[in-house]
Amino acid sequence: MKEGEFTESDERTGEGRQERTARELIELLNELRVILPGVQFLFAFLLTVPFSQRFAELDGLETGAFS
């Protein structure tokens, strides 16, 4: 971003550059906090699939699609 973009926004919101950066960082961390359980669930699911009994019945193409 250009320096002028921060200045225009700062005048409208009344916050300084450091305050805006801190607010944006907090918003980013909140979004990461929200998405983390979903990522953990998907990772756990993908980790358990190869250990299921029916995984051995898949052919080469299907196991290749999994990995």
CB 55 within 8 A of CB 46: no
Q: Tell me the pLDDT band of 41, cut-offs 50, 70 and 90.
A: very high
Place of tokens 């299907």: 62
Residues 6+ away with beta carbon under 8 Å from 17? 6, 10
Which tokens belong to 27? 């918003």
Q: Tell me the pLDDT band of 29, cut-offs 50, 70 and 90.
A: very high
pLDDT of res. 20: 92
Is the per-residue pLDDT at 12 higher than 80?
no
pTM exceeding the 0.85 threshold for the entire prediction: no
For 4, what's the count of Cα atoms within 13 Å in the CB-facing half-sphere? 0
